[in-house]
Amino acid sequence: MTVQKNKELESLRLKIRALTSEIMAKVQERTQLARQVGEVKGRLGIDVKDEKVEQEIRLMVARQAEESGMGKEFALRLLSVLLQESELVQEKSRPLKARQTHISIFRKAKQMEAAGSRIIHLEVGEPDFPAPAQVGNALAESFAKRQYHYTDTRGIPALLDAIAKKTGVIEDRVIVTPGGRFAVFSAIAALVRPGEEIITIEPAWPAYKECADFVGARTKVLRTTMEKGWTPDVSELAAMVTENTKMIAINYPNNPTGKVINEKTMDGIVSLARDHALYLLSDEVYSNYSFAPFESALSYSYDRSVVVSSFSKTYAMTGFRVGYAVASVDTIRQMAKVQAAGITSVAEPVQRAALVALGQDASGNVDLMKKRLTFLSSRLKEMSLRFIEPDGAMYIYPQLPAGEDVELVEKLLEKGVAIAPGSGFGDSYRQFVRISACRPEEEMAEGLNMMEKVLRREN
Amino acid sequence: MTVQKNKELESLRLKIRALTSEIMAKVQERTQLARQVGEVKGRLGIDVKDEKVEQEIRLMVARQAEESGMGKEFALRLLSVLLQESELVQEKSRPLKARQTHISIFRKAKQMEAAGSRIIHLEVGEPDFPAPAQVGNALAESFAKRQYHYTDTRGIPALLDAIAKKTGVIEDRVIVTPGGRFAVFSAIAALVRPGEEIITIEPAWPAYKECADFVGARTKVLRTTMEKGWTPDVSELAAMVTENTKMIAINYPNNPTGKVINEKTMDGIVSLARDHALYLLSDEVYSNYSFAPFESALSYSYDRSVVVSSFSKTYAMTGFRVGYAVASVDTIRQMAKVQAAGITSVAEPVQRAALVALGQDASGNVDLMKKRLTFLSSRLKEMSLRFIEPDGAMYIYPQLPAGEDVELVEKLLEKGVAIAPGSGFGDSYRQFVRISACRPEEEMAEGLNMMEKVLRREN
């Protein structure tokens, strides 16, 4: 009996081996065709990635999978592996330029400082004002009380509770993370699978794409323009959504433009997400620095929204690395799994500090930031630079009269002034730079004077 | 001209579509065969996973890829997707039991405490002694000096330098991480790709498998036994290595057994890794708590080793979430990319605290731990439990005379004593439990008295 069954198993296995070999042969044939496509495209100067063609093939495979009773999700995952290889094969001959970002400039600036240079930091989103004094007391107290143990993955109950109260949700919908960045990271890692897509709206903080890259997800980009006031076109956004799209990432008040979208645009984005059951990652770390009416995505009660916030900007606590996310109970549970795997929990003294920070009045910081942005704005106007007046956040994103961002950024850095290249927020923004309002006016003035000089020599 | 070229492109695209459809049809056929295999296996009571069969098919595909000029890596990645689906299809009918681990018990215990119960915590690896007083001063000082900013991804230079000096490497080979866990996480995420394999040696801290699961890598397990003194058999280990294996994860002094392997075994493991160019992840967070001669993997100067350490256990700083890794410059660079994507950097006040901790004498903690383990050992012997005397770490891993771990663990928890189920460290250890020596002797005595009572009623 067992012998016969094993024969059955053996025969099935032989068939599987043969089929596997056939599949591989066909895949190899496919790869060769993709290479030929790459050559033709190269001659024609056409982009490797063609969304329309990809979308057609995706629809075809989805239909075939449904008709044949094959798992659609599995079929699309497999297709993604094939498409990625095609893209890779097609791109192999095209050299990639390393991207300069505010982070890479910050790193260079730090190295120059370590070597003895004086640097004016207008490249980084790190307010220079002090964290609330009570935060220091909380640190000391947490040590005295021996509050430095593993905590619940999502955070200490008191902090979860305080955030829940502040945001008007139940405590199970909150997770405390090591910075807003890890909230973005764990949301994307938990909710988007390899080969699936997220849509970002550029110019954008590069973290969304970096996290998507990390999990092997694909990023599609909706580009906004200064001419249209950095407003995303919702119908364009709608046209980009495919069956493979899982998430839209938005960030208002925006880094780097300072834009806050109006209610109608936000309504449109949330409706779109709702219609297609997409996750809506709303990065609201600058919500406190909003000088135009700003409505959190939370107000829509959309169950697939993930709202990210942070203590970094509001309370000048960047180096404490503590932020949080608010989402559905189920989403938070999935994000907590990523957090448990990656870091166990956020450092307890840091959580205690965040809890105390939450009770502090940060309006002084907001007033100061607004004053600095006003100063920055009037000085940039004097320099005849074009930009959209920011509605919030901590930056201005002016267009350069000529030349490329990285050229200017590097020249300025040599002269001790660090600003961020616009292309760090999207490939198509090489004519822009981002200037932070995180330093005192005198310092910003000094930095801008230097920028003016360098720009004049340019023209 | 362009029209003709576009025709060429169009014809290539049609061919690709047709081929894609054929591939999907064959994959569907393959999945159906896999389902049949699953049914036969179910009837025969055979395990779904068959390493030998998988290995044969992997060799076949690798050979085919080489002969046809197809990328071998791509072919194996594609095969992994197929194999994972086969496994899934075969396993679908078998219900999975949720695993209880020291963490899930810790969580339950915490909930009971929150509800007013008194719990004796012998389940968690968290020493009860205080962190050095100087660490508290460092926290306060970092706040006073406004040292709470973004730092270099790898850490503040002073801490990198101190760790480099302590471990005898150059500073570029060090990264500071939010706990040893994130060092494990980023090493696996940076070095192992979806579908590739890591080998763990059980019983093992579940983090290695959790991180591998997270990146979609496969975990193969070498099981060690109490009968053989928890010594891994290097020839067995060698037999498990395939072309798809990328990493071996080891952990000595071991959690949960307290084992330290001898030099010969360690030599064998390093040689094996070297021969197959495997990464060797050596988790040495308990190296300070070693009562037998212990040699760090660093002493082998093997360039694919990643040594993980932590401030948690040595300095009783679990809740500070700070650890580090030492590896080759290239590996550290790759791990830093994961860290930059996930968390930016470790909280600066925490790094300042770690820097000061590094200068403190922790020998008092080691002596205390040894004394407690001796007490625990003699008490367990009185209870006639079998176990291997620990060479280090903070635990004893005794075998139960009868019954299953989770049963005992749950009964004990009802009575206010938390211990860790053995199966949390590997499915085949349901007859074991892990008892931590992180509480004062009186408390441990109380917990063990209760355990003795519960066990007696069992028999």
Matching residue, tokens 């071998």? B72
Q: How far is it between the farthest Cα atoms of chain B?
A: 91
Greater confidence (A395 vs B33) lies with: A395
* Structure tokens belonging to residue B209: 């498998």
Q: CB of A199 within 8 A of CB of A220?
A: yes
* Structure tokens belonging to residue A310: 């942070």
* Phi, psi (rounded to 5 degrees) for B24: -65, -40
| Chain A CB within 8 Å of residue B57 CB | yes
pLDDT value of position A7? 87
Q: Which of A25, A31, A140 sits opposite B139 (nearest CB)?
A: A140
Please tell me whether residue B120 adopts helix, strand or coil conformation.
Answer: strand
pLDDT value of position A193? 86
Looking at chain A, which residue has its C-alpha nearest residue B136? Answer: A143
- Could you give the CA distance from residue B451 to residue B417 in angstroms, rounded to a whole number? 8
Residue ranges of A 189-208 with Cβ closer than 8 A to chain B: 189, 194, 207
**Hey, are the CB atoms on A27 and B149 less than 8 Å from each other?**
no
Greater confidence (B147 vs A95) lies with: B147
- Could you give the CA distance from residue B458 to residue B362 in angstroms, rounded to a whole number? 41
pLDDT in tens, A331-346: 999 999 999 999 999 9
B197 DSSP β-pair partners: B218, B245
Write out the H or E segment, with its range, that includes residue B246: strand B245-251
pLDDT value of position A459? 42
Residue ranges of A 96-125 with Cβ closer than 8 A to chain B: 103, 106-107, 110, 114, 124
| Chain A CB within 8 Å of residue B68 CB | yes
pLDDT value of position A3? 56
ipTM associated with this complex: 0.87
* Predicted confidence (pLDDT) at residue A274 exceeds the cutoff of 90: yes
Looking at chain A, which residue has its C-alpha nearest residue B155? Answer: A319
- Could you give the CA distance from residue A162 to residue B24 in angstroms, rounded to a whole number? 51
Q: Which of A54-63, A192-201, B158-167 has the lowest mean pLDDT?
A: A54-63
* Predicted confidence (pLDDT) at residue A93 exceeds the cutoff of 50: no
Q: β-pairing, A279-283 with A245-251? A: parallel
pLDDT value of position B459? 42
Residue A404 pLDDT level (bands cut at 50, 70, 90): very high
Q: CB of B33 within 8 A of CB of A15?
A: yes
- Could you give the CA distance from residue A189 to residue B249 in angstroms, rounded to a whole number? 23
Which pTM was predicted?
Answer: 0.88
Measured between its terminal Cα atoms, the distance across chain B in Å is 89
Angle of helix B179-191 versus helix B329-342 axis, rounded to 10: 110
Nearest one of A322, A279, A341 to A304, comparing CA atoms: A279
Q: CB of B400 within 8 A of CB of B385?
A: yes
Greater confidence (B75 vs A411) lies with: A411
Length of chain B: 459
| Chain A CB within 8 Å of residue B183 CB | no
Q: CB of B131 within 8 A of CB of B315?
A: yes
Contacts of B10 (CB under 8 A, 6+ apart): none
For residue B421, cis peptide bond before it (omega within 30 degrees of 0): no
pLDDT value of position B97? 53
Ramachandran area for residue B344 (φ above 0: left; ψ -120 to 50: alpha; else beta): left
Q: How far is it between the farthest Cα atoms of chain A?
A: 92
Matching residue, tokens 């296996």? B41
Please tell me whether residue A325 adopts helix, strand or coil conformation.
Answer: strand
Ramachandran area for residue A228 (φ above 0: left; ψ -120 to 50: alpha; else beta): alpha
Write out the H or E segment, with its range, that includes residue B421: strand B420-421
Contacts of A1 (CB under 8 A, 6+ apart): none
* Predicted confidence (pLDDT) at residue A4 exceeds the cutoff of 70: no
Matching residue, tokens 């609330």? A132
* Predicted confidence (pLDDT) at residue A422 exceeds the cutoff of 80: yes
pLDDT value of position B98? 61
What is the pLDDT tens value at each position of chain B, 459 positions in all? 455 668 888 899 899 989 988 988 898 888 888 888 888 887 777 777 777 788 788 888 888 888 888 888 788 878 888 887 887 777 664 444 567 888 888 889 988 988 899 999 999 999 999 999 999 999 999 999 999 999 999 999 999 999 999 999 999 999 999 999 999 999 999 999 888 899 999 999 999 999 999 988 889 999 999 999 999 999 999 999 988 899 999 999 999 999 999 999 999 999 999 999 999 999 999 999 999 999 999 999 999 999 999 999 999 999 999 999 999 999 999 999 999 999 999 999 999 999 999 999 999 999 999 999 999 999 999 999 999 999 999 999 999 999 999 999 999 999 999 999 999 999 999 999 999 999 999 999 999 999 999 999 854
Residue A86 pLDDT level (bands cut at 50, 70, 90): confident
Taking CB atoms and an 8 Å cut-off, how many pairs form between chains A and B? Answer: 291
Question: CA of B459, closest CA in chain A: separation in Å?
Answer: 36
Question: CA of B47, closest CA in chain A: separation in Å?
Answer: 13
Question: CA of A371, closest CA in chain B: separation in Å?
Answer: 23
- How far is the CA of B72 from the CAs of A218, A358, A387, B35, B76, in angstroms? 23, 54, 50, 27, 6
pLDDT value of position B170? 98
**Hey, are the CB atoms on A322 and B347 less than 8 Å from each other?**
yes
pLDDT in tens, A104-114: 888 899 889 88
Looking at chain B, which residue has its C-alpha nearest residue A154? Answer: B107
* Structure tokens belonging to residue B125: 């690896």
